[in-house]
Structure 1
Amino acid sequence: MKKTILLLFVIILCPKSSWSQDSKAQKSEINQKVSDLLSKMSIEEKIGQMTQITVTNFEAKGKPGVFDMAKLREAIQTYHIGSILNVPNPGAPTIKKWNEVITTISNEANKTRLKIPVLYGIDAIHGSSYTAGATLFPQQIGIAATFNTEIARKGAEISAYETRASSIPWVFSPDLDLPRNPSWSRIWESFGEDAYLSSQMGKAMVEGFEGNNVAFKYHVASCMKHFIGYGSTTTGKDRTPSIIPERVLRQFDLTIYQAAIKAGAKSIMVSSGEINGTPIHASKHLITDILKTELGFEGVVVTDWKDIIYLHSRHKVAETNRDAVRIAVLAGIDMSMVPEDYTFYTDLLDLVAKGEVPVSRIDDAVSRILQMKFKLNLFQDTVANLKDYPKFGSPEFISEAYNAAAESITLLKNNDAVLPLAKNEKILVTGPTANSMKYLNGGWSYNWQGENSDTYAADKFTILEALMDKAGHENVLYTQGADFATFNDAEIEKTVELGKSASKIILCLGEKNYTETPGDISNLYITESQSRLALALSKLNKPIILVLNEGRPRLISNFEDKMNAVIQCYLPGNEGARALADILFGTINPSGKLPYNYPRYPNSLEKYNRKHTESLEDEEQNNDAKYEKSYSPQFEFGSGLSYTTFAYSNLKIDKSEINDTDDLIVTVDVKNTGKLAGKEAVLLYLSDNYASITPEVKALKRFTKISLVPNETKTIIFTLNQKDLQFVNNDLKWISEKGTFKIQIEKLTKEFLLK
């Protein structure tokens, strides 16, 4: 038996240049440059730097993607705008076209008095997704399912490379939202329901995007989003109110941003939502007091789309747009994604002239913006030399996207080892997600809602095409069976009839492409048309492999028991179908694990780290009537099967009692007891048995991903520190309390005492 020891530690990335950009020397040099430039700027030039406009504002009428130079000149010369965002019509330019776009903008900026470069920002959500030919990775929820921070870091590094190849230095990523309602339309943009998993993945992505020096031609400035509480709406619908006590916000949501800030994130985007009746864009307490002062965030705070305007038109906390500008800027906003007019500029200019917004607040905002521009080296270089980017869209990068998809795809059920498939089996492939790239990529892919993926990714495999390539066309039958919204009894009957000729059925269900408000739903159950198809096929008594291709967990409890296997693909990106086919046929051994609880019922949406009162057992009685079991997810957070088996043993801790300064070393052995090599995510949970604030049943505190060949054992070493034992009390202080704690890894447990 082979046995190795795996020690977990923080990897210090090798610098890409001789000195770190956050070194004292460089900070001092950049601060001096900013101070000198600021002293030369007029108030108009300063407020222009705080103004961000969408690129489509400058397009010639009737000529998508072509600049009206008078409009661009007005924006840069008259209004002095500091930033442009978004993608030109009709979407997803080539790197050559992006080069032309940024060159035109840069040339116009160089005609200004101070030649301050324009900062271009883009939604590079799962790769440089607004550039034709770029490498598209799984969406963030799939990256979370890998439980492999190296995949997150490497994916962001490649995204940075390809975004810089597009001459764009700033990406609106990663998404650090902590969703609490599974119907929210942006769950797939997040890392799931756990704060620790999200913080580690977010940190890794920031490191991948920025490296040690964002001035380096292969790195970009990242933008954390959406600060804060955006994913916790009470209705589950996008941009609707949240109710989150500050104690809860600090213990969970804020920790994710703290990790990314510590990793060096250069900017942050503010949530479009409101918490406890206060829109975040209007909250000086959250933006200035907590983010900038308490956490010491020195980067740029940018709004989301039109969100200062919405303080007046939607939230109704500002009687006029001018009032909205005053409230937001005084709250701590540095840059307004206006993005389609110059009202922010004109209103703020008037507010400063009349003394309602102090020049000191303007200088603070502009200093932050100029610092980021200097750190990005934009004063020397704004346009990429395309010869420097030979790996753009390369097989090397595509391989990394494939690996990410392969490690993300999660096998949730495999009754009677129905998977993997035999090579020459006759299979029926059916369902609405089986034959389109739109559903593999989801939103933020080539355009906002991802409608153009079948055009831009025409050379990539859909699920159907990947299975045909893998199994041979002669072994694959196909019919759509149903769409997302409607069903046709004749089509279902046709599908059932075709299924009679197959040995197994690959049923591909899920969701259409969407993001933000267009993705709002009122029913968490998977659509009736898909449910009817599943139930009809189940009557054949043929093995059915349910493949879920969805951005959030749509309920399947009305037919899941009739499925022989269940695979969650999430939104795996351009290489996802190839990875899925290899998993279905056993070329790849699945290793993904759920980054959220998959609920069973719409009124039972408890998170895995629930409170004990959310886990009442059915033996408890009330007037002789049994309660229905209150905690019964379809699949729990951390679920995920393999084609091999793993045995956990020898869970040990180095101390049974610790004081309030001690670390605790935890070791466990993991052995591959099956016949195939495989990867396993090892998850460590901690429980505080009793506390003055009701404790969670368990909380993830450490994880790692390991590879094991058959009969190989690895000893995993985790180190827990004092912060892992703490919670936020009602005085908003992080504290730990004396008492007993329980460690759990797989089904093994150990207790220790904090004295």
Structure 2
Amino acid sequence: MGSAEDERCVYKDPNAAIEDRVNDLLSRMTLQEKVGQMTQIERRVATPSVLSGLSIGSVLSGGGSGPLGVAESASSEQALLSDWTDMVDGFQKAALESRLGIPLIYGIDAVHGNNNIYGATIFPHNIGLGATRDGELVRRIGVATALEVRASGIPYTFAPCVAVLKDPRWGRSYESYSEDTDIVKKMTAIVTGLQGQPPQGHPKGYPFVAGRNNVIACAKHFVGDGGTERGVNEGNTVTSYEDLERIHMAPYLDCISQGVCTVMASYSSWNGRRLHTDYFLLTEVLKNKLGFKGFVISDWEGLDRLSQPHGSNYRQSISLAVNAGIDMIMVPFRHEQFAEDLIALAESGEVPISRIDDAVQRILRVKFVSGLFEHPFSDRSLLQIVGCKSHRELAREAVRKSLVLLKNGKEPMKPFLPLDKNAKKILVAGSHADDLGYQCGGWTVAWHGSSGRITIGTTILDAIKEAVGGNTEVIYEQNPSPSTLASHDYTFAIVAVGEGPYAETLGDNAELAIPFNGTDVIKSVAERIPTLVVVVSGRPLVIEPHVLEKIDALVAAWLPGSEGTGITDVVFGDYDFEGQLPVSWFRTVEQLPMDHKANSYDPLFPLGFGLKCKKEA
């Protein structure tokens, strides 16, 4: 009986055409099962009865949410990699026990490596990768990230962010590759790294995943999230459709041409219209004009945000969003009410069954394309690859290539860098010299990140000690005392300052001053000792002219991640500087937003600026 039934189940036949499998499975589904497939819930509410009983389509980990709970600080107990695979496989087992046995998609924000996992390789955040201008490097980072994500049993990452950054006051600036659309377009090569290379002749807009070592990618946040007024997160982007298309939408065409499987709608608005309810942009443009055949997913509690400011109720929000073209809803906790309301909307005709069917077809298409029906569980042979030497070497290479040299010497003919590895005595100072968490930034273990030894890696201080000769005395004080500074026998000082970790709205910043008294530390050291300043930040920060005059060399290191040795590789001269500014470095915040094509453009350092530091023969 069972085998005869299986023979009639086209959707269970791995050799059948994907569209035939999609349509066969769709024809067997009840309305409740269809709504279940459109529902993505947080792992904390993903009980076996919910997953199997409601045929839930997807589960996610919110920022910092893992097998042992939600990471709040570096002191949180760390989940082992096997805890992740056990958890995800357990959820999958429950999903497969539903009536039709449809596997779920587990999603996570692996935005600079598999950053939720303790011990994973943490690559530079996107703004640093934009400084490399190296699309092939970014593709290789995608390959490595996909392997480390798959090793944890997870087939889906909410990456890449392809926002075009127009105002560094935005709290997600570091998630953007550049203020220049062409640079962002080049960096979309990470999609091919994550998902694999589509074969010649692959249908345009059709989703693609090469195999079990690849993951489902997500281009986000559609569209214009980097262009909001004053850089306000989730704010309003005021621009013509022509400029929206030319500046902000263009990178999505590159993602779609690479077979990107999913696109996430933005919290932000376009000329006052909320993206989560914009039928024109989500359906007429993204799906119809651009030919996107994967699924559109909402952002975290995106429907709740719709219902709160406008006074509309949750059911109306569901109707607006689903009819606009959102296919999968990141609920993440209100799954029962969401299901009840969407079923009622479908039964009343307010949300047409054809719209429900289109959403479910898109979700099932991605599930079949990604091989989840054939291989729903984790591949534990990948466990040893997380944080492996080759991936850390790749991250180190990315750090080297991302560094931008902004100043080298107080006089043009007297370069300060490279530094001497055999110096007798050096001073290392600043809030970021020995803080791995600050180096990695937000979206690292915890949602907003945190300070300290939050994962496995090498701080700048670690790297300096490793780089210099055994005869060099390294003195480290975060805030050097007057007595420390009074010593006259330092060859030079390295001061690392920058931003503390943040994510999203909490990162919005109208001042952009160097925090932790960074400017004072720079001045106190540079007035007495020849000084290299390394700025560790997710965006340009204010550097006062009198401070810039005092220091001997200035390097923008962005948020380099776990491999601090990439910094010392370059400042001590083993490699030359290659990075170019991916964004304009403003003089004052009053200049913001800046347009590098405007006649009034007057930055401290322009887009594309970056000095070389050739070693003497």
Q: Same fold (TM over 0.5)?
A: yes
Out of 256, 259, 268, the position equivalent to 2:263 is: 268
DSSP 3-state at the match of 2:401:
helix
Deviation sequence 1:667-719 (CA, Å, 0-9, x none): xxxxxxx756xxxxxxxxxxxxxxxxxxxxxxxxxxxxxxxxxxxxxxxxxxx
Q: Indicate the residue corresponding to 2:229 in structure 1.
A: 234
Residue pair 1:161, 1:219 contacting (<8 A) in 2 also: yes
Alignment of 1:45-64 (within 5 A): 45-58=33-46
Sort the Cα spacing of 1:586 and 1:31 in 2 relative to 1 into closer, same or farther, 3 A.
Answer: same
| Equivalent position amino acid for 1:467 in 2 | I
Q: Tell me the distance in 2 between the aligned counterparts of 1:95 and 1:187.
A: 30
DSSP 3-state at the match of 2:585:
coil
Sequence identity percentage: 35
Alignment of 1:18-167 (within 5 A): 29-58=17-46, 72-86=47-61, 87-88=65-66, 89-91=69-71, 93-167=79-153
Q: Tell me the distance in 1 between the aligned counterparts of 2:117 and 2:526.
A: 42
| Equivalent position amino acid for 1:364 in 2 | D
| Equivalent position amino acid for 1:587 in 2 | D
Residue pair 1:174, 1:225 contacting (<8 A) in 2 also: yes
Sort the Cα spacing of 1:129 and 1:356 in 2 relative to 1 into closer, same or farther, 3 A.
Answer: same
Q: Indicate the residue corresponding to 2:240 in structure 1.
A: 245
Alignment of 1:177-576 (within 5 A): 177-202=163-188, 204-212=189-197, 214-314=209-309, 316=310, 319-342=312-335, 343-388=337-382, 390-415=384-409, 416-425=414-423, 426-451=425-450, 454-457=453-456, 460-471=457-468, 474-481=472-479, 493-494=482-483, 496-497=485-486, 500-527=488-515, 529-540=517-528, 542-558=529-545, 559-575=547-563
DSSP 3-state at the match of 2:236:
coil
- Deviation of the 1:398 alpha carbon: 1.4
Q: Which runs of 5+ in 2 are unaligned?
A: 1-13, 72-77, 198-207
Q: Tell me the distance in 1 between the aligned counterparts of 2:405 and 2:381.
A: 42
DSSP 3-state at the match of 1:603:
helix
Out of 610, 613, 617, the position equivalent to 1:640 is: 610
- Deviation of the 1:154 alpha carbon: 0.1
Out of 539, 542, 565, the position equivalent to 1:578 is: 565
Q: Indicate the residue corresponding to 1:593 in structure 2.
A: 580
Q: Tell me the distance in 1 between the aligned counterparts of 2:70 and 2:274.
A: 33
| Equivalent position amino acid for 1:48 in 2 | G
Q: Tell me the distance in 1 between the aligned counterparts of 2:15 and 2:541.
A: 48
Deviation sequence 1:649-674 (CA, Å, 0-9, x none): xxxxxxxxxxxxxxxxxxxxxxxxx7
Q: Tell me the distance in 1 between the aligned counterparts of 2:307 and 2:382.
A: 46
Q: Indicate the residue corresponding to 1:685 in structure 2.
A: none
- Deviation of the 1:453 alpha carbon: 6.1
Residue pair 1:93, 1:130 contacting (<8 A) in 2 also: no
Deviation sequence 1:570-625 (CA, Å, 0-9, x none): 011111x111112121112221111011111112236463233x2xxxxxxxxxxx
Q: Tell me the distance in 2 between the aligned counterparts of 1:451 and 1:300.
A: 33
Q: Indicate the residue corresponding to 1:62 in structure 2.
A: none
Matched, 1:176 2:173: no
- Deviation of the 1:501 alpha carbon: 3.9
- Deviation of the 1:94 alpha carbon: 3.1
- Deviation of the 1:138 alpha carbon: 0.9
DSSP 3-state at the match of 2:342:
helix
Compute the RMSD of aligned alpha carbons. 1.9
Residue pair 2:139, 2:190 contacting (<8 A) in 1 also: yes
Sort the Cα spacing of 1:134 and 1:539 in 2 relative to 1 into closer, same or farther, 3 A.
Answer: closer
- Deviation of the 1:77 alpha carbon: 3.0
| Equivalent position amino acid for 1:422 in 2 | D
Q: Tell me the distance in 1 between the aligned counterparts of 2:253 and 2:353.
A: 29
| Equivalent position amino acid for 2:476 in 1 | Y
Q: Indicate the residue corresponding to 1:660 in structure 2.
A: none
Residue pair 1:424, 1:475 contacting (<8 A) in 2 also: no
Sort the Cα spacing of 1:27 and 1:188 in 2 relative to 1 into closer, same or farther, 3 A.
Answer: farther
- Deviation of the 1:479 alpha carbon: 0.9
Q: Which structure has the bigger radius of gyration?
A: 1
Sort the Cα spacing of 1:229 and 1:168 in 2 relative to 1 into closer, same or farther, 3 A.
Answer: same
Where relative contact order (Cα < 8 A, 6+ residues apart) is larger, the structure is 2
Residue pair 1:53, 1:338 contacting (<8 A) in 2 also: yes
| Equivalent position amino acid for 2:521 in 1 | L
Sort the Cα spacing of 1:389 and 1:259 in 2 relative to 1 into closer, same or farther, 3 A.
Answer: same
Q: Tell me the distance in 2 between the aligned counterparts of 1:285 and 1:195.
A: 22
TM-score in terms of structure 1 length: 0.74
Q: Tell me the distance in 1 between the aligned counterparts of 2:345 and 2:154.
A: 32
| Equivalent position amino acid for 2:184 in 1 | S
Q: Tell me the distance in 1 between the aligned counterparts of 2:350 and 2:334.
A: 22
Residue pair 1:226, 1:269 contacting (<8 A) in 2 also: yes
Going by fraction, where is strand more abundant, 1 or 2? 1
Q: Which moves more between the two structures, 375-384 or 222-231?
A: 375-384
Q: Tell me the distance in 2 between the aligned counterparts of 1:561 and 1:271.
A: 42
- Deviation of the 1:472 alpha carbon: 5.1
Q: Tell me the distance in 2 between the aligned counterparts of 1:606 and 1:53.
A: 37
- Deviation of the 1:319 alpha carbon: 1.3
Q: Tell me the distance in 2 between the aligned counterparts of 1:34 and 1:183.
A: 44
Q: Which runs of 5+ in 1 are unaligned?
A: 1-25, 59-71, 482-490, 615-630, 645-673, 677-755
Residue pair 1:306, 1:337 contacting (<8 A) in 2 also: yes
Q: Tell me the distance in 2 between the aligned counterparts of 1:462 and 1:103.
A: 34
DSSP 3-state at the match of 1:505:
strand
